[in-house]
Amino acid sequence: MTQETTMSTEAVRPRHDEHRITVLGAGTMGAGITSLALVHGVPVTLVDVDEAALDRARARVDHQTRVAHLMGAVPEGVAPGRLSTTTSLSSVSEATIVIEAITERFDLKAALLTDVGSRTKPGTALVTNTSSIPVDDLAAYPPRPEDLVGAHFMNPPYLIRAVEVVRGPRTAPRTLDALYELLDALRRESVVVADAPGFVTSRLLHPMINDAARVVQEGVANVEDVDALMVGCLGHRTGPLRTADMIGLDNLVDSLRVLHERTGDERCRPCDLLLAKVGAGDLGRKSGRGFFTYERTEQLS
């Protein structure tokens, strides 16, 4: 089933060199990356196996594009991109770049990249938005490993300008160049790092969030006080536990498990409080409750 939505009544400016992005996964990050592209005039096909997830994503994208305008995050004079949503992978054959943004599970990512890599034209950049899995581990699965590169967007992508770019040992220079060109069109800043579990951001941030949850679990302080101290004393922008809710506690747990398996660092073993919240369905903003409780509009942000 395919549904097409134009984000504005204005015509999308035709360009012979226009990017055509396919985003795989209609969750929090997939919708955020889609919103970022659309407000910069880049058309997107958003793919998910679940039509209900696509329905939620369309609502989220609509909300996020309005927030981007209110926050002054939309370039002037750029007609919005066109959004198409579908449950079929057929669009990847015509994409200029494919961005994988599904859940942080190695088996699912490997299977998807195998399938997608067999459908794309040679030289089409495959971008994984993994937060913790080494790019070269995933590169063993698509038929052309040189086409795979990492781009770890931060949430919300339409407001955060820096993107952690991960060049795997087998990533071709042309693949990296294609990603640079896209990020430049999206007015993002590329920060290139070496391939390793968790790269830089997750390797530093996720164990720290786990420690913050453990402090709450042990009764040292409550959720509000942990975040207040981290913001007020140490300058953390939002607080580690509110950040965890933004990431998604299920995604955080999956990432921590990857880090623990690949590094052996006990700080990366998900603490009991995180596991209990995920087990109860308290996943953060996207579910309306995590460490904090959220209104409907906050869930869409």
> What digits encode the pLDDT tens for the residues 69-78?
999 999 998 9
Q: How far is CA 265 from CA 207, 210, 249, 257, in A?
A: 9, 12, 19, 10
- Mean pLDDT for 128-146 is 97
Angle between helix axes 249-263 and 240-247 (nearest 10 degrees) is 100
Return the pLDDT at 14. Answer: 34
Verify that 186 and 213 share a domain, yes or no. no
Taking every pair of C-alpha atoms in the chain, what is the biggest distance, in angstroms?
60
Residue 17 domain boundaries = 2-194
Domain end residue (candidates: 146, 164, 194): 194
Return the pLDDT at 300. Answer: 74
Q: Domain tally for the chain? A: 2
Verify that 248 and 218 share a domain, yes or no. yes
Verify that 160 and 272 share a domain, yes or no. no
DSSP string, 3-25: EEEES-SSPPPP-TT---EEEE-
Q: How far is CA 147 from the centre of its chain?
A: 19
Q: What is the pLDDT of residues 30-45, one digit of tens each?
A: 999 999 999 999 999 9
Verify that 222 and 161 share a domain, yes or no. no
Verify that 102 and 250 share a domain, yes or no. no
Cβ neighbourhood burial of 263 (10 Å; 0-12, 13-18, 19+): middle
H runs (alpha helix) in the chain: 28-39, 51-70, 106-119, 135-138, 173-185, 201-217, 223-232, 240-247, 249-263, 272-279, 296-300
Verify that 174 and 221 share a domain, yes or no. no
Return the pLDDT at 51. Answer: 96
Q: How far is CA 60 from CA 29, 56, 75, 298, in A?
A: 11, 6, 20, 10
**Is the pLDDT confidence value at 13 over 80?**
no
- Give the SS3 label for residue 190: strand
Q: What is the pLDDT of residues 46-97, one digit of tens each?
A: 999 999 999 999 999 999 999 999 999 999 989 999 999 999 999 999 999 9
Verify that 224 and 295 share a domain, yes or no. yes
Confidence of residue 297 (pLDDT cuts 50, 70, 90): low
Return the pLDDT at 202. Answer: 97
- Predicted TM-score of the model (pTM): 0.89
94: which DSSP letter? G
User: What is the rounded distance in angstroms from the CA atom of residue 256 to the CA atom of residue 244?
Assistant: 12
User: What is the rounded distance in angstroms from the CA atom of residue 297 to the CA atom of residue 288?
Assistant: 10
Nearest residue to 180 via CA among 108, 250, 127, 243: 127
- CB of 29 closer than 8 Å to CB of 17: no
**Is the pLDDT confidence value at 223 over 90?**
yes
**Is the pLDDT confidence value at 194 over 80?**
yes
**Is the pLDDT confidence value at 7 over 80?**
no
User: What is the rounded distance in angstroms from the CA atom of residue 23 to the CA atom of residue 33?
Assistant: 8
Domain containing 252 — which CATH number?
1.10.1040.10
Return the pLDDT at 281. Answer: 97
Domain end residue (candidates: 178, 194, 210): 194
**Is the pLDDT confidence value at 6 over 60?**
no
Return the pLDDT at 86. Answer: 97
Residue 4 backbone dihedrals phi, psi, to 5 degrees: -120, 135
